[in-house]
Structure 1
Amino acid sequence: MTAATASLPLTPALASPRALAARDPWAMVPSLGNLDAYISAANRLPLLTPEEELRFATRLREHNDLEAASRLVLSHLRLVVSISRQYLGYGLPHGDLIQEGNVGLMKAVKRFDPGQGVRLVSYALHWIKAEIHEYILKNWRLVKVATTKAQRKLFFNLRSMKRDFKNGAADADVHRQSLSSAEIDLVAAQLNVKREEVIEMETRMAGGEVALDPTPDDGEDAFGPITYLADEREEPSRLIESKRRDALAGDGIARALESLDPRSRRIVESRWLQVKDDGSGGLTLHDLAAEYGVSAERIRQIEVAAMKKMRAALAVEAA
């Protein structure tokens, strides 16, 4: 029973239903915390005759009589229990389904107009199912699977239709078996939805959910998608490293070159930072040897010494 239902002023004897059950069946309010006891007690509550229902509904509508509202709600608790059983296949607690259905029942009682000439049971069906449907859609999956009218229609009918197609197969087997092309067309025609929507909903309902980040209960070897979904380019330490590398490649190298003598700088720039007119690399050791009138080995020695000095300068920049 929901907290909202429990708040209604039913009778003073509600605290001890067994003691008063014999002389007042309306005192048999279900016990909280025990679902079987609740269902058993709800099924023992008496139904209202059409005359009693009309009288209580009129009292509620014209005089806001909460005692009348209580009688209308309690007499239909078994209806909520019956409807909630139809949705046990979604893996949600039966007690929660009943609770949501009770919320829908109370909404129906509040809005019920006895002057329309229909029984409350017919009117309440819509409200009870609407609340249960909304609860299932919010809690069946972390990711909402049905948002449009067509998707909701498919969500609450596709399971039973697949079971009919597969001749009463178990729920788990039904999910694993895909609809054939002819079955997809049949579902689309019966529910008046697009064929593509049937395929999409079947895929959504067949898919499972995986935790992005494994919990400690999953064990030390657990592996979550967050491991390979992370964008390493945005990882803070990598961003800092990248910025530092860019700085060294720009201003850092320029300052390192300034630490060299003119000849050493000329050799490094000609060898590594300049391109010939034909698009090829910089000057060769022999080209520079001819320019300075020394051997190619001497140019190589100067280059090695210059590069060593530049690396030291860059290390200071990075520190």
Structure 2
Amino acid sequence: MTLPCAVVIAGPTASGKSGLALALAVAFDGVVINADSMQVYDALPILTARPGPAHLARAPHRLYGLIDPAEPCSAARWRDLATAEINAAWNSNRLPVVVGGTGLYLEALMDGLSPIPEIPPEARAEARTLFETLGNAAFHHRLAEIDPVMAARLPLGDSQRMIRAWEVLSATGRSLAAWQTEPREGAVAARWLTLALAPQRERLRQACDGRFLAMVNAGAVAEARDFLARNLDPVLPIMKALGLRDLGSYCQGERPLDEAIAAAQSATRAYAKRQMTWVRHRLKPDIVLDAQLSESLMTTIFMKVRQFRLTPV
């Protein structure tokens, strides 16, 4: 049986993924499906670089601004939503174009996830409360006492994954590390063409810095101020949106704006570096694009996509 086709576009932040996804969707009657863990939330459209009205008007876009920011979106939940959108695209004879820089989401889609049972809300709430009570370092120390394997894998600042490790052990009696050794489940059966944008380091650094300045000019400071005024749980995933805490520190008078911008730019560059590491070592893309997108390069990409769709397995 010949599997249906889907395209995945990955790469670091500020590399041009959204623009390439839109171009492919327009050229191949496609549907753009978001795989960015921040853009799924109905909040911070500027800071998360969510596609604007001009993009949305040119091709269908799915899974953007969908989930209340007070609600965590797990990789399993996103995978289920994305699977439904991919099937809907196929049923409409459209090409799914999955785009985003969240590696865990893409792995969940193409490779599946470990079969961890659904964690009861009370166990999740208990883990979050304990983290808030103990604080980062003490919580990590406590986790190391009961689950040394997971604690050794998680840096002190990774509060979300530390809480996840605690809640899984508490609810299932088994370490997350042990669950992760189980065969993965739930991968979408498709023929995947994976494209990775991999700009040269200096060009990517400049793109990260320039994009954040553009966000500030577009109103990111007011956006951050208004969002933080909602006083949401600080361990929610949306609170890790790049630049949010840095601009928040400026809004609270803790540092001047130029220092806040510089800190956010530095964090963005560091995040882009981690994304590039994932692309190189985990994704193993079919096509790596390390040059500036141009008309001639787009022509080559379109040709490869056409060949992929026409080539039977």
- TM interval, shorter chain, is under 0.3
| TM-score, normalised relative to structure 2 | 0.21
Where relative contact order (Cα < 8 A, 6+ residues apart) is larger, the structure is 2
| TM-score, normalised relative to structure 1 | 0.21
Task: Determine which structure has the larger strand proportion and give its number.
Answer: 2
Q: Which has the larger radius of gyration?
A: 1
Task: Determine which structure has the larger helix proportion and give its number.
Answer: 1
